[in-house]
A and B are shown apart, each in its own frame.
Chain A
Amino acid sequence: MKNGFRQSMAWLHTWTGLVVGWILFFVFATGNLGRFDTEIDRWMKPELRPETASLAQSVEAAQQRLQSRAANAESWTIWPATNRDYPNLRVRWEQPVTQASAEHSGRTQNQNRKRTEEYLDPETAKPVETRATGGGQLLYKMHYELHYLPRTVSDWLIGICSMFMLVAIISGIITHKKIFADFFTFRPGKGQRSWLDLHAALATIVLPFFLMMTYSGLVFLVLTLFPGNVAANYGLGDDTRTTYNDELNATPYEAERADQAAPLVNLSSLTAIAEQKWGAGQVRTIEVENPGDSNARVRVTHLLDDTSRTNQELVFDGANGALMGEFSNQSNARGFYDHLLGLHRGLFAGWVLRWLYFLSGIAGAIIIASGLVLWVVKRNPKQLKQADGPDFGHRLVEALNVGTIAGLPIAVAAYFLANRLLPLDLAGRGNWEANSFFIVWLLALLYPIVRPVGRAWIEQFWVAAAAFLLLPIVNALTTGRHLLHSLQVHDWIFAGFDLTVIVAGLLFAWIAIHLSRRAQQVPAPARRRNASHLPSAQEV
């Protein structure tokens, strides 16, 4: 560490950023794709078609299906097709697993329910078979679950990385002397200077977003990172967390099963009442507790259009249809938490803001990537002079940079390609999609071992470009829904997906071309293994 406050902060910024940079890049890239999780879901389940059925028709179809398939379930949930988040009619029922095994495994009932979900065709009330896929949800969940790790491990890992990130952001602000003078400054084509400009200027203009995402990300994990909060009030026993959660999520008008059969009222009559109250198109979910019992409860929920994602509920008696009451889950104690999480998830965002969220996320990924590249560029002059080549650590960082920054996009494309190309009857198909993602990423990480770093950058960006440009073609061949067709029938999900991957592919190709040109300009003696062919900032 060096003397002086700012130098110390610069040191802190450099090293906190470096050690977790690659994981943070992964988190930012996959989390950012989650801005379009529902759209990606729709693309990855091409069997689902856009719906036009009325609310009443959807609810009736759902009730009919659930009555015949899950009359004895503990609870039902119905999501009619209403808005961006719920594009298709979907139902879920929960059944307790057999008594013996529930007692055997002990305490929490929550963990001993079997959930089944189906998409339904509102016209026929029959389930729609979709291919086994993790869809956009899995891709989005990767950014905090890290896919292969148990939640306890991934929560801590992500928590620690986010904390490092917060430290890096704050020390970065302190380090950035000319934050106002350089607010609008980017000087391309000047090597290290350009990388620093890119890193600093982008970080400055998306700072509110960047800080908010990191901080609210940490707040998500607050119970993991500060377990003492719950322990102090609920004790240290095994089921205190369950008690805590039950109390936190307690809802009024809950009722035990009376074990007296009583037919359930017509749900569509209840949603009609709710629509009268809230206006057309405002009903989001219909939840039924104890269906078929005389103590059945029906909750019709409505979502407030703000950052907190507050639910309003109408609770009905399921046996006679009487309105029992209305309540909202809003509370001041949860307000802060809910608003921060709401901002992080951005589910409230309309199309314009959603795209801006997405662009900010890309900027975030570029900030991290340029920081990592800057670490190498800054040390290159000294490292390349060494007689026996750069140090191991230097080469390791270079290789991880290539494998992550250029490799991760290839992995994402591989995930999408696997969705279209894996046989539909493959066992564990959904898992294999995710495995494809990580296998390809691993290959991309190993690739710089066998190739000079400069070549590896160029080649991997070419592969990324090819993979993304291949996607619309593979999609057209496997589903028949090509771009022109999607545009003609105004299928904005498919058209938007195709157009976005085409733009991404062209961008990667442009980077590759730019890097090749630069590599040719480098004078011959410098073009040895591990020489720096790192791009100047203007390609990114």
Chain B
Amino acid sequence: MLVSFVFAYFGFAALSLTKARHYQQVWPQRSATPQTLYLLKTVGWFFIVIATVYLIQLRGLGLGLTDLFAVFSLAALVLILQFSYAPRSVAAIGLVARLRGQSAPVSTSTSHL
């Protein structure tokens, strides 16, 4: 369950950063380029699907989905608390996006995904 929590958390974290408000909370000076958004969205959904497949593989369809919703709730709750009280702490996951996608002030040409 811990593994699926990690997947769900990273998935949600990436997806949350596709919202302009939260992106600004993490990097006040930057705004996301379309490439970054695309990357975040892909990575986010990828992890969500991985978490889902993983739990269903592990526990069967019924129990897997039950666990999945519980894990999703917890992952989202952690993110909400992070954004409310320590937004910069979400940056860890965002780093991935920064390394790959880059954000507007630096360059837009290095994105190659």
Contacts and interface: CB of A to CB of B under 8 A. Distances in A.
Q: Do A and B come from one complex?
A: yes
A363 interface: yes
A356 B74 CA distance: 8
Interface in A77-121: none
A24 interface: no
Interface string A339-365: 100010000100011001101100100
A244 interface: no
Residue of A187, A339, A352, A538 with highest tally of chain B CB at under 10 A:
A352
Interface stretch (A12-20, A45-53, A178-186, A435-443): A178-186
A539 interface: no
B77 A205 contact: yes
A206 interface: yes
Nearest to A201: B80
A184 B83 contact: yes
Interface string B81-102: 1011100000000000000000
Given A205-B72, A205-B73, A306 B63 contact: yes
A184 B69 contact: no
Contacts of B79: 184
Nearest to B68: A208
B1 interface: yes
A185 B62 CA distance: 30
A375 interface: no
Contact of A186 (B19, B73, B83): B83
Contacts of B19: 181, 183-184
Contact of B62 (A181, A208, A339, A357): A339
A208 B69 CA distance: 7
A11 interface: no
For the residues of B in contact with A, the DSSP-based class is helix
B73 A360 contact: yes
A430 B80 CA distance: 43
B84 A188 contact: yes
Contacts of A360: 70, 73
Interface residues of B, number: 25
Contact of B70 (A186, A188, A339, A353): A353
A306 B2 CA distance: 20
Contacts of A205: 72-73, 76-77, 80
A353 B72 contact: no
Interface string A173-213: 00000000101111110000000000001101110110000
A85 B6 CA distance: 30
A214 B81 CA distance: 26
A307 interface: yes
A186 B83 CA distance: 8
B92 to A, nearest CB: 16
B41 interface: no
A184 B60 CA distance: 29
A259 to B, nearest CB: 46
Q: Which range holds the interface residue count of chain A? A: 20 to 34
Contacts of A208: 69, 72-73
A163 to B, nearest CB: 23
Contact of B83 (A185, A352, A538): A185
Contact of A356 (B21, B60, B73): B73
A184 B63 contact: no
B83 A209 contact: no
A360 B74 CA distance: 9
Interface string B18-62: 010110000000000000000000000000000000000000101
A48 B16 CA distance: 49
B16 A184 contact: yes
A184 B73 contact: no
Nearest to B12: A184
Residue of B1, B60, B73, B85 with highest tally of chain A CB at under 10 A:
B73
B66 interface: yes
A188 B80 CA distance: 11
B21 A209 contact: no
A184 B93 CA distance: 15
Contacts of B1: 352-353
Contacts of B81: 186
Given A306-B63, A343-B66, A353-B67, A185 B73 contact: no
Q: Which 8 A-B pairs have the closest CB atoms?
A: A356-B70, A205-B76, A208-B69, A184-B16, A186-B84, A206-B73, A205-B73, A186-B80
10 contacts: A183-B19, A184-B76, A185-B22, A204-B76, A206-B73, A209-B73, A343-B66, A356-B70, A363-B73, A538-B84
